[in-house]
């Protein structure tokens, strides 16, 4: 079993969760770690829902086709404040992934329900992917479109 508040390689996490070898390569792997003591209910469900919503877009637009890595490992750090300037680590040659981390305000997240947290995580993931695209000269126009869609949806939250 994996210990909490420790960093693990994405393939180790996936193997532990699936009970064996990783069978599917994802463009985006998401994990979270608490930098402070907090209890964020539904964060795993929200993070996976946000990732699953973005994954088809990444595949359709061949986001990582020209990248020097096969996937992005995004770690959401639950801390005292929001720091959306991503910390991009060196490419892991063995696992062929790019480690990226951002810090999110844990106290703010604790107050969100799962749908609101899913929207928040989706927005954060789009911003992070835009930064990765800028650093590695990857396609980003579709991400700008997704970002604008998120902004327009937030400006009219009560309309169906």
Q: What is the three-class DSSP state of 125? A: helix
Provide mean pLDDT across the span 67-89: 95
Provide mean pLDDT across the span 47-67: 93
Given pLDDT bands bounded at 50, 70 and 90, which one contains residue 154?
low
Output the pLDDT for position 15. Answer: 53
C-alpha distances in Å from residue 145, one per residue of 44, 48, 50, 152: 26, 21, 16, 11
Given pLDDT bands bounded at 50, 70 and 90, which one contains residue 100?
very high
- pLDDT > 70: what percent of the chain? 78
């Amino acid at each position: 079993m994996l210990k909490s508040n420790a960093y693990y390689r994405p393939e180790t996490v996936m193997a532990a969760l699936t009970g064996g070898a990783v069978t599917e390569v994802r463009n985006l792997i998401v994990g979270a770690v608490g930098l402070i003591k907090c209890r964020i209910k539904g964060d795993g469900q929200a993070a996976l829902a946000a990732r699953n919503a973005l994954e088809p877009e990444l595949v359709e637009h061949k986001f990582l086709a020209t990248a020097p890595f096969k996937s992005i490992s995004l770690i959401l750090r639950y801390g005292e404040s929001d720091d959306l300037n991503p910390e991009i680590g060196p490419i892991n040659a063995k696992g062929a992934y790019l480690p990226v981390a951002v810090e999110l305000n844990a106290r703010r997240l604790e107050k969100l329900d799962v749908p609101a947290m899913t929207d928040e995580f989706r927005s954060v993931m789009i911003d992070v992917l835009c930064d990765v695209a800028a650093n590695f000269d990857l396609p980003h126009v579709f991400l700008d479109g997704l970002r604008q869609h998120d902004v327009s949806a937030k400006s009219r939250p009560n309309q169906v």
